[in-house]
């Protein structure tokens, strides 16, 4: 065979091998699991080294660690309780999709090599010959980026970007990138990581303790909270995992993750309360949807995020305070049955589709959302001026089937965007339950959010549905 043909064949074989193997898992300490692209099953890492292809997922357990070799000598280290996946954007360009936890990346921008980390709220890229960057993704998708060595570029979902230099860190959330600050010392970082891991594990155990205490009357609910393979409304199996995280005494985060054949979707709710929460969180979750009397604790701020791949829909509220909705001047928010009915009302609220504000409102000590002023040219949470006025929106809620527990909420915007939320209360063995199943405490709920031609589908067990209904 002529030398030119041999060289061309070798090049093609190398290209094929590169496309099949996006990375290699070199080291695994503790519980390290891998999910193949297109599968919803997590399996132990097994014999090393292990090739990882495009779309493969990687996650680590408590106090575990995984070391992954990427293209052109770049190294990714996933620390305990981390969840990430591998993506290949193009020849020579590997992208790490960090969904939760802390990852460290050693990379270079030299020689045409390109490795980046994408989180729900930002993208981090190497901008120097050698860069060591540390990224931590928390509940709600907010990210903390720290540069240990070199220079990195950070770009948020709104298009704003900055250069982060050695010794600097920056917080990125739905509001965008914040001002850079000095990064903590290595000793401070290790202490912070350890405390965060312990709080997460403790929060998960506390969530399970509450289930065990109620197991005699809510057996099905407690099983779902531990994480199981459930059946959705279409009869398909979904791996559902739920985590309860307590970052501080007065803060609570709930994360629900779904594994399907078409990838990972998740819902997270992160709420801050006006005082320390009790050890048993059952009453706290029950009070999120309302109670006959004011609860001892009030949600003052929250962020709720639904996400699947590149799409995310986030809701943020602040200025929360409890109101007797049956005693205010608005009959449309009354709760059936009469008497007092306390719910948390928020003075400021914003809905963001892929980081872009779609609607919001503001008010002062609102007693009913009918008195809120719709946001038009300013962000309701930050007050920042918008590039253009928000489009008019019309919201309609319907119940298409009188016999089934199914509701459809459609938000039609003047710019042509439509956001549809479909809620279905599921039977224990799968399928949609009867209409009376809405609001039942032991019902699993499937939430389908559609915009931009794609749907975020999340099966939510136990406490999760209560956390989704904060603002009408």
| Residue 10 counted as domain residue | no
The highest-confidence range among 215-219, 225-229, 273-277, by mean pLDDT, is: 273-277
Determine the Cα–Cα distance for residues 401 and 397; give it in Å rounded to an integer: 13
pLDDT at position 215, please? Answer: 32
Task: State whether residue 193 is helix, strand or coil.
Answer: helix
249 domain residue, yes or no: yes
pLDDT digits (tens, 9 = 90+) for 132-146: 999 998 866 789 999
Split at pLDDT 50, 70, 90, the class of 417 is very high
Same domain membership, residue 97 and residue 173 = yes
- Per-residue pLDDT, averaged over 15-39, amounts to 75
At 14 the pLDDT is 40
> Rounded to whole angstroms, how far apart are CA atoms 373 and 383?
13
pLDDT surpasses 50 at 16: no
Residue 14 within any structural domain of the chain = no
Q: Calculate mean pLDDT across residues 90-105.
A: 82
96 has a pLDDT exceeding 70: yes
Say whether both 267 and 128 belong to one domain.
no
What 3-state DSSP class applies to 407? strand
- Which residues on neighbouring strands pair with residue 181, listed in sequence order? 169
CATH number for the domain harbouring residue 119: 2.60.120.1440
Q: For the segment 359-375, what is each residue's pLDDT rounded down to a tens digit?
A: 999 999 999 999 999 99
Length of the chain: 472
Q: Distance from CA of residue 37 to its chain's centroid?
A: 20
Same domain membership, residue 176 and residue 107:
yes
User: How far apart, in whole angstroms, are the C-alpha atoms of residue 454 and residue 450?
Assistant: 6
Residue 466 in this model has a pLDDT that exceeds 60: yes
Does residue 322 sit within a domain?
yes
pLDDT at 111: 59
Q: What's the N-to-C CA distance of the chain in angstroms?
A: 71
Number of domains in the chain: 2
In this structure, are 234 and 268 located in the same domain?
yes
Q: Does some domain include residue 455?
A: yes
**Domain-located, residue 176:** yes
Tell me what percent of the residues of the chain surpass a pLDDT of 70: 78
- pLDDT at position 214 over 60: no
- Token pair of 317 as six digits: 């509220």
- CB-neighbour burial class of residue 6 (10 A; exposed 0-12, middle 13-18, buried 19+): exposed
Contacts of 130 (CB under 8 A, 6+ apart): 106, 108, 149, 150
Query: What pLDDT does 242 receive?
Result: 79
Region for 339 from its dihedrals, namely left if φ exceeds 0, alpha if ψ lies in -120 to 50, beta otherwise: left
Which of 183, 207, 229 terminates a domain? The answer is 183
pLDDT at 439 over 70: no
Name the token pair of 114: 């390109």
Q: Are residues 390 and 273 in the same domain?
A: yes
Q: Which of 123, 150, 183 is the last residue of a domain?
A: 183
3-state secondary structure of 464: helix
Angle at 103 between CA 99 and CA 104, to 5 degrees: 150
Q: Give Cα 362 distance to the centre of its chain.
A: 25
Q: Is the pLDDT of residue 22 over 60?
A: yes
Which residues partner with 89 through β-bridges?
Answer: none
Q: Is residue 9 part of a domain?
A: no
Q: Give residue-wise pLDDT tens across range 242-261.
A: 778 788 889 988 888 888 77
Cβ atoms of 425 and 437 closer than 8 Å: yes
Report the range of poorest mean pLDDT among 22-36, 82-96, 337-351. 82-96
- Do 44 and 118 lie in one domain? The reply is yes
Phi, psi of 213 (to 5 degrees): -65, -30
**Domain identity same for 67 and 173:** yes
φ, ψ dihedrals at 220, nearest 5° = -65, -40
Q: Are residues 346 and 221 in the same domain?
A: yes
**112 confidence band (pLDDT: 50, 70, 90):** low
Q: Which residue segment(s) compose the domain that 246 sits in?
A: 199-468
Residue 386 sits in the same domain as residue 250: yes
Domain boundary among 139, 158, 183: 183
Taking the C-alpha atoms of residue 438 and residue 285, their distance in angstroms, rounded to an integer, is 17
Does 430 lie in the same domain as 344?
yes
Specify whether 164 is located in the same domain as 139: yes
3-state secondary structure of 184: coil
**Does residue 42 lie in a domain region?**
yes
C-alpha distances (whole Å) from 89 to each of 17, 43, 71, 72, 94 are 16, 25, 12, 15, 6
Contact 432, 425 (CB under 8 A): yes
Kindly tell me if the per-residue pLDDT of 468 is higher than 50. Answer: yes
- Per the model's pLDDT, the better-predicted residue between 81 and 189 turns out to be 81
The reply to whether 172 and 210 lie within a common domain is: no
> Mean pLDDT across the chain, nearest whole number?
80
Question: Phi and psi (nearest 5°) for 247?
Answer: -60, -30
Beta carbons of 35 and 47 less than 8 angstroms apart: no
Nearest C-alpha neighbor of 236 from the set 256, 266, 267, 259: 259
The answer to whether residue 226 scores a pLDDT higher than 50 is: no
Q: pLDDT at residue 124 above 70?
A: yes
- In sequence order, the β-bridge partners of residue 307 are 266, 312
Per-residue model confidence (pLDDT) at position 429: 63
Cβ(435)–Cβ(447) below 8 Å: no
What are 270's strand-pairing partners?
253, 303
Q: Which residues of 20-57 are buried (b: 16+ CB within 10 A; e: fewer)?
A: eebbebeebeebbbbbebebbeeeebeeeebebebbbb
**pLDDT computed for residue 211 by the predictor:** 36
Dist CA 25 CA 320 (whole Å) = 46
Both tokens of residue 461? 């067990």
> Please, which pLDDT band fits residue 472 given cuts at 50, 70 and 90?
low
């Amino acid at each position: 065979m002529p030398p030119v043909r041999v060289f061309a064949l070798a090049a093609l074989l190398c290209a094929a091998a590169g496309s099949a193997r996006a990375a290699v898992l070199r080291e695994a300490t503790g519980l390290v699991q891998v999910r193949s692209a297109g599968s919803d099953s997590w399996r132990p890492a097994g014999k090393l080294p292990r090739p990882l292809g495009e779309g493969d997922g990687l996650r680590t357990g408590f106090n575990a660690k995984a070391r992954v070799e990427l293209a052109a000598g770049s190294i990714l280290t996933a620390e305990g309780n981390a969840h990430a996946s591998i993506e290949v954007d193009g020849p020579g360009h590997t992208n790490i999709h960090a969904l939760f936890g802390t990852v460290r990346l050693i990379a270079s921008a030299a020689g045409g090599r390109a490795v980046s980390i994408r989180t729900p709220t930002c993208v981090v890229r190497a901008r120097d010959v050698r860069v060591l960057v540390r990224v931590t993704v928390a509940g709600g998708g907010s990210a903390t980026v720290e540069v240990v060595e070199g220079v990195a570029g950070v770009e948020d979902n709104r298009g704003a970007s900055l250069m982060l230099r050695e010794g600097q860190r920056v917080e990125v959330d739905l509001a965008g990138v914040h001002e850079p600050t000095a990064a903590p010392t290595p000793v401070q970082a290790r202490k912070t990581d350890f405390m965060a891991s312990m709080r997460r594990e403790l929060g998960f155990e506390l969530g399970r303790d509450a289930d065990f205490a109620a197991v005699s009357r809510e057996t099905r609910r407690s099983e779902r909270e531990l994480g199981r393979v459930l059946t959705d409304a279409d009869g398909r199996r979904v791996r559902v995992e739920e985590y309860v995280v307590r970052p501080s005494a007065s803060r609570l985060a709930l994360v629900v993750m779904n594994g399907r054949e078409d990838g990972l979707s998740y819902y997270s709710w992160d709420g801050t309360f006006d005082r320390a929460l009790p050890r048993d969180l059952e009453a706290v979750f029950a009070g999120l949807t309302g109670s006959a009397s004011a609860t001892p604790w009030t949600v003052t701020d929250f962020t709720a995020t639904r996400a699947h791949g590149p799409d995310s829909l986030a809701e943020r509220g602040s200025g929360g305070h409890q109101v007797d909705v049956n005693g205010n001047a608005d009959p449309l928010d009354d709760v059936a049955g009469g008497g007092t009915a306390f719910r948390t009302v928020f003075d400021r609220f914003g809905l963001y589709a892929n980081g872009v504000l779609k609607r919001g409102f503001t008010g002062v000590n609102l007693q009913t959302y009918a008195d809120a002023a719709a946001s038009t040219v300013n962000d309701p949470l930050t007050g920042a001026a918008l590039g253009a006025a928000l489009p008019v929106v019309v919201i309609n809620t319907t119940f298409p089937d009188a016999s089934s527990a199914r509701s459809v909420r459609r938000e039609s915007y003047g710019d042509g965007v439509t956001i549809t939320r479909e809620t279905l209360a599921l039977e224990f063995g799968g399928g949609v339950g009867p209409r009376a199943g809405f609001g039942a405490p032991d019902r699993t709920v499937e939430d389908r959010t559609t915009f931009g031609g794609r749907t975020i589908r999340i099966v939510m067990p136990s406490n999760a549905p209560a956390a989704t209904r904060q603002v009408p």
